[in-house]
Structure 1
Amino acid sequence: MTALKDVAKLAGVSLMTVSRAINNPEQLSEKTYQKVKQAIEQLNYVPDISAQKMRGVAGKTIGVLSLGTATTPFSVEILLAVEQTVRKYGWQSFVINTFEEDPDEVEQAVDALLSHRPSAIIIARNGLSRIRIPPKLAHFPIVLANCITEDLNVASYIPNDFQGQFNLTQLLVEKGYKKPLCLYIPENAIAAKERQNGFEKAWFVQPNYEMPEQFFMPKDLHEYTCGADPLKKLLAENRKKLDYDVIVCGNDRIAMLAYQLLLSHGFRIPEDVAVVGYDNMVGVAELFLPPLTTVQLPHYEMGEQAALHLIEDRTAKGKQYVDCPLVVRASC
């Protein structure tokens, strides 16, 4: 394996000059830097990052504490965005995945994170929620992705759920829908109230629009198997008629249940009743028949902005909203 001294010998410079070329190239003349660079390329030399950290010279490493993000297909793009962004700017990153349900596991993950000597930390979660920041991390530069906290005054990059639902509801108004049935996620979820407010803000600016019928899933229930129960009950009471022209679902999983119920009772989508979702589930939303109109959760953008926050040394604190794009398909 090529060593630092081999590069120095080929370039005809000292070990210190090679180290500066790798870590602080601005301290060298262009001629000297190019000599070292050519030697590195010729020998295929790869810097020993772990050794740099031990010497305290690797100051551009972001550690990501992943709270289930690495094992959840819907949010793994947060981590992809962090990795691609830091590479683009010449930084390094690594991920330690854990789950909040086990405090001992979280503590072990934090210790593993610190053993890599990060210069800054991103905490990312698989679903928008309020988290506790481990005390051992409190003195690091920290930014959050897809989560918020009351422990420290730090920047939190989260979905703009108000905007996402507002734009979706505007689309429904423009298409002339008058009688929505809203099947929301649990009311205590952070996103739930924002989405309800977004819906009502867009819905009630129209003249003569009635209050829609709205249902929230039971609190703390996130399996979504009962997400379409109000629709199921309505269909059981009257199998041939439904007094709604659009089902507004709190997420794509509830929309999937609504599809199954409607189609099994002979309703056509969207001819008899339209259906819209939220999340744009990875690898799933486009497989609905007909394809589902929904809202994209900006997982990649949240990871990207969290990384840039640290790289660019931004000073913003608190909630930083990332827009949720509307994805129009054939279900409405």
Structure 2
Amino acid sequence: MASLKDVARLANVSLMTVSRVLNDPKRVKPETLSRVQEAILQLNYVPDLSARQVRRVGSRNKTIGVLALDTVTTPFSVEITLSIEETARAYGWNSFVVNMFADDNPDDIVDLLLAHRPGGIIFTTMGLREVSISPRLLKHPLVLANCENKGELVASYIPNDEQGQYTAVQALLAAGYRRPLCLHLPANHLATLRRCRGLDRACREANINPDTLEHCYMQYGDEHYRDIPDILLAHIYQGQPQFDSVICGNDRIAFMVYQTLLTQGIRIPQDIAVLGYDNLVGIGNLFIPPLSTVQLPHYEIGRLSTLHIINGDSHREKVLVDSPWLLRESF
């Protein structure tokens, strides 16, 4: 097991500097802080929490309370809470999760969360959305992960959906596809609005007017994924697709597109290219052929949000986290 000395040696700093990083990171220069934190991760160093508790009675509670709105119950965003726990442990902190469901009283959930006296709070949601943060939470160190506050500005870490979609569509168009059918998530969804901006920008740069493309928007509700086959078939006449590719709002839509095209004897990518979004956990590489898609950066969002609390950051900015483009074999 790595020791404090091992961390200091790898980061080329003193034991006192490593101790400050763990106990009072605001006193450490940013470049030194980053170097020590990288060494901690590389060595998987875990501080002796029991000893530190004895030495630091009455000090700041190094526990992060995670208020999870629909997050822990879904496979799509579980990486956020996983990342929070792993990052917190790496820096000698603890974390706990309080789930909030649609029928919960928000005030009761806030009471439960604050009863644990967390040293910082991460509010996270499944799916990018706007939320209304309780004024009581605003009195504590707070950061939002995968969501934005409707009222007072609060620091938030969210996917860079516009850039992610731009990069993916740019790659699709560069591969020679000029007539994509666009199957979007619901029209007023935050992610939809931003991904559409990325799509528009990529199209215009390729001298394609995005307004001339076919745009179809899914209705809210998981049951409406079953509408995708009919939407797709409406654009296939006498077995001939009126498009050369499909830009899908997420990988679940892409899954329905694959099934529909293949049942019609239409090959992917020889006849039609397919582009997804999200990199659905454990699924992307199981498409045949593997689906080209964009990675939602949930793990990185969790990591950055946790470091925001640990480092005592005070900014209230919206931080866009890169959504990597994953080129596979669907075009």
Same fold (TM over 0.5): yes
Cα distance in 2 for residues equivalent to 1:239 and 1:60: 64
Cα distance in 1 for residues equivalent to 2:209 and 2:23: 64
Counterpart in the other structure of 1:231: 232
1:216 paired to 2:217? yes
Letter in 1 for 2:235: L
Change beyond 3 A, Cα 1:182–1:94: same
Counterpart in the other structure of 2:103: 102
- Which of 63, 67, 71 lines up with 2:73 in the alignment? 71
Letter in 1 for 2:298: H
Letter in 1 for 2:161: D
Cα distance in 2 for residues equivalent to 1:61 and 1:73: 25
Cα distance in 2 for residues equivalent to 1:329 and 1:228: 23
Cα distance in 2 for residues equivalent to 1:24 and 1:168: 42
Q: How many Å apart are 1:91 and its aligned residue?
A: 1.8
Cα distance in 2 for residues equivalent to 1:24 and 1:245: 57
Letter in 1 for 2:81: L
Letter in 1 for 2:107: E
Q: How many Å apart are 1:51 and its aligned residue?
A: 9.9
Cα distance in 1 for residues equivalent to 2:312 and 2:60: 17
CA displacement 1:158-192 (0-9 Å, x = unmatched): 11000100000111121011110000000110000
Counterpart in the other structure of 2:94: 92
Determine helix, strand or coil for the equivalent of 1:121.
strand
Residues 234 and 242 in structure 1, CA contact (< 8 A), matched pair in contact too = yes
Determine helix, strand or coil for the equivalent of 2:97.
strand
Query: Any gaps of 5 or more consecutive residues in structure 2?
Result: 1-21, 25-47
Q: How many Å apart are 1:82 and its aligned residue?
A: 0.9
Counterpart in the other structure of 2:111: 111
Query: Any gaps of 5 or more consecutive residues in structure 1?
Result: 1-22, 26-44
TM-score, normalised via structure 1 length: 0.80
Give the share of equivalent positions with the same residue, in percent.
46
Cα distance in 2 for residues equivalent to 1:269 and 1:162: 26
Mean alpha-carbon deviation: is it higher for 313-322 or for 197-206?
313-322
Cα distance in 1 for residues equivalent to 2:191 and 2:49: 45
Change beyond 3 A, Cα 1:319–1:208: closer
1:322 paired to 2:325? no
**Structure possessing the higher radius of gyration over alpha carbons:** 1
Counterpart in the other structure of 1:309: 308
CA displacement 1:186-212 (0-9 Å, x = unmatched): 011000011111011011112366732
Cα distance in 1 for residues equivalent to 2:248 and 2:86: 33
Letter in 2 for 1:301: E
1:159 paired to 2:162? no
Determine helix, strand or coil for the equivalent of 1:47.
helix
Cα distance in 2 for residues equivalent to 1:175 and 1:24: 51
Instruction: Spell out the pairing of 1:136-285 with structure 2 (5 A cutoff).
Output: 136-207=136-207, 211-218=212-219, 220-223=220-223, 224-235=225-236, 238-285=237-284
1:295 paired to 2:294? yes
Letter in 2 for 1:326: W
Residues 186 and 221 in structure 1, CA contact (< 8 A), matched pair in contact too = no
Residues 49 and 92 in structure 2, CA contact (< 8 A), matched pair in contact too = no
CA displacement 1:225-262 (0-9 Å, x = unmatched): 32454213223xx2411121101100011111111111
Counterpart in the other structure of 2:30: none
Cα distance in 2 for residues equivalent to 1:239 and 1:157: 47
Change beyond 3 A, Cα 1:56–1:286: same
CA displacement 1:31-62 (0-9 Å, x = unmatched): xxxxxxxxxxxxxx973999999x64352221
Cα distance in 2 for residues equivalent to 1:176 and 1:97: 46
Residues 49 and 58 in structure 1, CA contact (< 8 A), matched pair in contact too = no
Residues 274 and 291 in structure 2, CA contact (< 8 A), matched pair in contact too = yes
Residues 157 and 319 in structure 1, CA contact (< 8 A), matched pair in contact too = yes
Cα distance in 2 for residues equivalent to 1:76 and 1:309: 19
CA displacement 1:238-294 (0-9 Å, x = unmatched): 241112110110001111111111111110000011111100000112111111100
- Which of 56, 59, 69 lines up with 1:57 in the alignment? 59
Change beyond 3 A, Cα 1:247–1:51: same
Residues 235 and 242 in structure 2, CA contact (< 8 A), matched pair in contact too = no
Letter in 2 for 1:255: A
Cα distance in 2 for residues equivalent to 1:208 and 1:325: 24
Change beyond 3 A, Cα 1:24–1:209: closer
Determine helix, strand or coil for the equivalent of 1:70.
coil
Matched pairs, number: 285
Residues 52 and 58 in structure 1, CA contact (< 8 A), matched pair in contact too = no
Cα distance in 1 for residues equivalent to 2:49 and 2:315: 36
Mean alpha-carbon deviation: is it higher for 158-167 or for 311-320?
311-320
CA displacement 1:296-327 (0-9 Å, x = unmatched): 00000000111111112223323210010011
Letter in 2 for 1:190: L
